Amino acid sequence: MNSRRLSPKISIDMTPLIDVILQLIIFFMITTTFRAAPGISLDLPGSSTAQSVSSSALQVVVMSEDEIYVDKTRTDLKNLSATLRQRVAGSDGTHIRAVLEGRAGASYQLIISVLDAFRFNGIENVGLITRKEKMVQ
């Protein structure tokens, strides 16, 4: 008998599999969307004159006195002024735009206290975010 047998060489071509996987990865990278907000679900107050605005301003989200977010950094009302001072350090506060977003049930006093913290740190240009009310006819 011949000790050398003919054995078939079996190999799997991985190139098509790799091509498909790379195309899927690229597809999911392109179609994925990311949230810009800190991931807080808010029930915004309504306004009949609301307009859509896109901005790269300083964003402040007010949930309660103990939960205030300054550009995704959590703070409270007592430490808000220090957080804002730290955020605007080295720049002229009059040229900084701020956007205030508050829960619909937030107290008027809380919103005024946050606006006072803005003014105390020299931020004069503050916008309030609302949602557009649906017109009932």
Lowest pLDDT segment from 75-84, 88-97, 107-116? 88-97
Structure tokens at 96: 């900084």
Question: 53-73: per-residue pLDDT in tens?
Answer: 554 578 888 988 888 998 888
- Please, what are the domains in the chain? 46-132 (3.30.420.270)
**Residue 92 banded pLDDT, cuts 50, 70, 90:** low
Q: Is 83 exposed, middle or buried (0-12, 13-18, 19+ CB in 10 A)?
A: buried
Q: What is the pLDDT of residue 55?
A: 47
Integer Cα distance of 111 and 117 in angstroms: 10
> Per-residue pLDDT for 82 more than 80?
yes
Q: Is 129 exposed, middle or buried (0-12, 13-18, 19+ CB in 10 A)?
A: middle
For the entire predicted model, the pTM comes to: 0.56
Q: What percent of the chain has pLDDT over 90?
A: 12
Determine the average pLDDT of the residues in 106-114: 89
Determine the average pLDDT of the residues in 15-36: 87
Helix-, strand-, coil-residue percentages of the chain, each rounded to 5? 30, 20, 45
